[in-house]
Amino acid sequence: MLRLRYNEDGLIPVIAQDWRTGEIRMFAWANEEAIRKTIETGYAHYYSRSRGEIWKKGETSGELQRVLEVRVDCDEDALLYIVMQEENRACHTGRRNCFFRDLEGQEAERVLPFETLQRLQETIEERLREKPEGSYTVKLYMEGEDRILQKFGEEAIEALLAMKKDNREEIKAEVSDMLYHLLLMLTLRGLGVEEVLSELARRLVKPRR
């Protein structure tokens, strides 16, 4: 382990970032023992300054964080846990992450670009599970897989035509439609979009020589 730089209380700040969406789930503190427990168990452990003890995230709430990777910042005085949030809720308020307010105390509802595909797939999964009335996703699902594939093909062609015309706004609209139908089909095949992105990431990283 690198020689981490703890503060005068023997603590180091830890940020938990979601492996799937890239969103920051939470911030907490850890001491050396908490970090070792995290590495040994594969689940996030932190140190509670108010209780004066180590705690395992989600041990009572079920909101466990499986740690896939630990990264250290350039000054070695802060850590980043890359986590899989098993219940998709990290905050004790029941929200998906702890950073849900702006400086005025209002709900920060905007979905950021880097998490959009994963969040959209979550919404698709929710629609298919709950089948709300009037849902386009449910309507298309009820029409069958061949209809979904047909729509994906149609949207892909329209995206190509928009590219050909070089109309910026039309390209954005048509590619968005195409991606939605692609995500719907991936969902029916049991594939998370993060699996596709992981394959692209694997191709992106060139082996060192």
As a whole number, the mean pLDDT across the chain is 95
The answer on pLDDT for 208 being more than 80 is no
Cβ atoms < 10 Å from Cβ of 193:
20
The answer on pLDDT for 206 being more than 80 is no
Nearest in space to 32 (alpha carbons), one of 9, 59, 60, 63: 9
- What would the mean pLDDT of 73-96 be, rounded to a whole number? 95
Task: Tell me the angle at which helices 136-143 and 145-165 cross, rounded to the nearest 10 degrees.
Answer: 120
- What would the mean pLDDT of 103-116 be, rounded to a whole number? 93
- Domains in the chain, please, with CATH? 12-85 (3.10.20.810), 113-204 (1.10.287.1080)
Rounded distance, CA 169 to CA 185, Å? 25
Rounded distance, CA 100 to CA 36, Å? 30
Amino acid 2: pLDDT: 79
Nearest in space to 156 (alpha carbons), one of 171, 139, 140: 171
The answer on pLDDT for 207 being more than 80 is no
The per-residue pLDDT for range 122-178, each reduced to its tens digit, is 999 999 999 999 999 999 999 999 999 999 999 999 999 999 999 999 999 999 999
- What would the mean pLDDT of 188-208 be, rounded to a whole number? 90
Cβ atoms < 10 Å from Cβ of 181:
19
CB of 82 closer than 8 Å to CB of 71: yes
Rounded distance, CA 78 to CA 128, Å? 40
Amino acid 1: pLDDT: 66
